[in-house]
Amino acid sequence: MSGGLAEGRGDAGFARHANMLRQVARQLDDWIAAQNREARREGLPTIRSCHIRVVGQTALLEVGVPLTLVATRDVDVTADYESAVEAEFRRLLRMKGRELNPLGHEIWMPRETRYSMLHAGRSVELSVADPEAVLVSKALKAPDKNLALIIEYLARGPSTRFLTLAKKYRINLEQFL
C-alpha cells in the first residue's frame, strides 16, 4: 500500500510556506536568548525553555504532503510556553502573515501522533505532527470540512497506519465515498 505522504508536492506554492515555522522558531529562540541575557544581568528569573507542537493544516503544509491543501492563515499549536513567549510567537507569525489560533490547543490528536522535530534550539523545540495523525484527526472531528482532502488521500492509497488508526478511532471511511 502506498500512502506516499513523504514525497513533497514541491511546487512554488509549497516552497513559499516550507520552512516558515523553522524560521519563526529560530527567531523565537534568539528572542528568548536575548531576554534571558537581560534577565541574568538584572538578576531576574529567566524564561524557561518550551516545546511547541504544530498540528492541523499548517503541519500538512509544513511537511509538504502531496495533497491539495487550502488553509486559513491560522496556525494551530499546543505548547507549554510562558505567556510572554506566546505573545512573541504570535507576533513573529503575524510578521509572516499567519495568525496563532487561540483555540489551537483544543484540537484533538490521536494518542499515537508522532512529532518530527523541525527545530531543536537552546530554548525552543518545535515539532510537527505526522500527516497520518493529522488526517485521522480531521476525518474524525471535521469530516465535512475536510471531505475533499480525505478523498484525495484515500484515492492516493491510504497507509496501513492511517487505516489502523481509522479503525481504532472508529472512523467510518464510507462516509467520504
Partner 1 sequence: MSEKNSDLRARAKARHAHFARRRRDPRYQRVIGRFKAAKLLITNDEVPEHREPITVSDTLWAGEVEPRLIELLPAAILKKPSLFVDIESLPHDLASVVGAIRRHETPPPLRGIPGENLLHWVPRIGHRGKIPSRLKSFRFTAEDLALLAELSRELDLSETETLRQALRKLAHASDVNTASDRE
Q: Summarize as ranges the residues that interact with partner 1 (CB under 8 A).
A: 1, 9, 11-14, 17, 61, 64, 68-73, 97, 99, 144-145, 147-148, 151-152, 154-155, 157-158, 163, 173, 176-177
Cβ 41 to partner 1 shortest distance, Å: 33
CA nearest to 122, candidates 34, 55, 20, 19: 34
Shortest Å, Cβ 169 to partner 1: 17
Least Å from the CB of residue 177 to partner 1? 5
Cβ within 8 Å of residue 144, ≥6 positions away: none
CA atoms within 13 A on the CB side of 56: 21
Of residues 115 and 162, the one with the C-beta less far from partner 1: 162
The position carrying cell 505522504 is 5
Nearest distance from residue 166's CB to partner 1, in Å? 10
CA distance 143 to 154: 13
Minimum CB distance to partner 1 smaller for 53 or for 138 = 138
Q: All 3 cell numbers of residue 86?
A: 506566546
